[in-house]
Structure 1
Amino acid sequence: MAGKEFTVNLNKPLVFQVGHLGEAYQEWVHTPIVTDESPRFFKSDFMEILTRTVWWVVPLIWVPVAMWFISVSYTMGHTLPQVILMSVVGSFIWTFLEYCFHRFLFHIETKSYWANTFHYLIHGCHHKHPMDGLRLVIPPAEAAILAIMFWNLYGILFTISTRPALFGGGLIGYVIYDMIHFYVHHGQPTKQSIKKLKKYHLNHHFRIQNKGFGITTTLWDRVFGTLPKTKADKKSG
């Protein structure tokens, strides 16, 4: 069935439907449905459970894991200040990885059946249903796969004793990322800095979806020229 002719039935499991949209998928997935509803993805109850994660699971699982990795570098002979510094550097590295993932993978343009399906699972669903609180943070199984990949990569890039603290710091950065991401969607911030992040991220969802890829910081958007213009910038331009 041609992409232009296919219509997604929102009352049926979505994942294996969206691929049929073809080239029309990009427009469909970037037209958000703003409700708290958590749509069904799969017919299988088991598969469905794997796609839903409450926000507090992220710190519950990954903060202890991160602290264990950080402690390994300490037991291997690094001082406490060194371990703290490496952890901070690891968190900073995460902000760059976060930007790269969001810009180059999560916003890749697709049109084939399986590419559309893959994109919908990793990020498209979030743009289609941005207020779905059960599919906002990364499910533990998916996060574990990514963690293993980066642990192996860090083994190539860093020394045996610095690798655990840098990796643990990266995990802390990831937890901060997921918590901020959840809060800017569902929280009511009173602190000005968080208010700005909320406005910045919702602008990415509802106004300029090809800019503003940072979640925890706008730094890399500034560095790589993907900072969206504000209304004041447009008037002065």
Structure 2
Amino acid sequence: MVAVDLKKPLVFQVGHLGDAYEEWVHDPVLGKEGPRFFHSNFLEFFTRTPWYAIPIVWIPVSCWFVNNSLSMGVPVSNAAQLFLIGLFAWTLAEYLLHRFLFHVKTTSYWGNTLHYLLHGCHHKHPMDHLRLVFPPAAAAILAVPLWNIVRLLSTPTTAPAIFGGFLLGYIMYDCTHYYLHHGQPKSDAPKKLKKYHLNHHYRISNHGFGITSPLWDIVFGTLPPSVKGDAKSS
């Protein structure tokens, strides 16, 4: 295997791993200190995002989309229903993106490099607190095709309210994801969800793609198989 020096910027090293990238990226480094991505301080700055940037940036955007539907004459009660539809639609998008995009298998130099930037870095350094949520610029790039899908499947007046709910689902997803890694839940439900997600990181990465709930893992048969004994993540 090509050696990767974790003390040097990683982004342009990982592509050289080729076929070995998949095994390497799912062998986590358990320390809380995140790696350096780029030599450039300018580029490095844009790879780090505090969790609270997500609600600060995206809640106003979500409200703006809903207001667009209201301003086009959609009644408040209907807009609320459309919002909830979008919120639910996000749960499916969350699962599909995580399973089929974030866990796509790559072997080429640029495939490995792009996957590492998108999601591989999180599996390699799962406790890096500044790379647990999506930088707003990267999230905006992903949001454009998703918005176009919503527009295609709905009408000009209903699409904004649906997408507003969709964006709230994303906000809840990213904040929940951060909490599952760094929060200390006291009640039973969040404890189980935390264990469920960390099991995806430390035990069986090709199962358990739900973050906010295991709903779609149940529907699509990707619930992790039950394992006796304590999980490595506990």
TM-score (ref. length: structure 1)? 0.94
**Are 1:133 and 2:129 an aligned pair?**
yes
The correspondence for 2:72, drawn from 50, 70, 76, is: 76
Q: Give per-residue Cα distances to partners, 1:129-175, cap 9 Å, x unaligned.
A: 00001001000000111122222222211101100000010000000
Q: Which amino acid aligns with 2:183?
A: G
Alignment of 1:47-196 (within 5 A): 47-196=43-192
Q: Which residue of structure 1 lines up, in the alignment, with residue 9 of structure 2?
A: 13
The correspondence for 2:205, drawn from 182, 198, 209, is: 209
Q: Which amino acid aligns with 1:72?
A: N
Q: Give per-residue Cα distances to partners, 1:47-98, cap 9 Å, x unaligned.
A: 1111100000000000011011112112222222211111111011111011
Q: Which residue of structure 2 lines up, in the alignment, with residue 235 of structure 1?
A: none
Q: Which amino acid aligns with 2:181?
A: H
Measure, in 2, the Cα distance between the counterparts of 1:159 and 1:223: 28
The 3-state SS of whatever aligns with 1:231 is coil
Q: Which amino acid aligns with 1:73?
A: S
Q: Give per-residue Cα distances to partners, 1:9-41, cap 9 Å, x unaligned.
A: 011100000011111111110000011111100
Two-structure CA RMSD over aligned residues (Å): 0.9
Measure, in 1, the Cα distance between the counterparts of 2:45 and 2:92: 30
**Are 1:230 and 2:226 an aligned pair?**
yes
Question: How much identity, in percent, do the aligned residues show?
Answer: 59
Q: Which residue of structure 2 lines up, in the alignment, with residue 31 of structure 1?
A: 27
The 3-state SS of whatever aligns with 1:211 is coil
Measure, in 1, the Cα distance between the counterparts of 2:69 and 2:198: 38
Measure, in 2, the Cα distance between the counterparts of 1:75 and 1:191: 41
Return the offset for 1:191.
Answer: 2.4
Gaps of 5+ in 2: 229-234
Measure, in 1, the Cα distance between the counterparts of 2:149 and 2:103: 23
Gaps of 5+ in 1: 233-237
Measure, in 2, the Cα distance between the counterparts of 1:71 and 1:134: 32
- Ranges of 4+ aligned residues in structure 1 off by more than 3 Å: none
Return the offset for 1:231.
Answer: 2.8
Q: Which amino acid aligns with 2:75?
A: T
Measure, in 2, the Cα distance between the counterparts of 1:83 and 1:122: 33
The correspondence for 1:200, drawn from 196, 218, 225, is: 196
Measure, in 1, the Cα distance between the counterparts of 2:224 and 2:149: 32
The 3-state SS of whatever aligns with 1:25 is helix
The 3-state SS of whatever aligns with 2:160 is helix
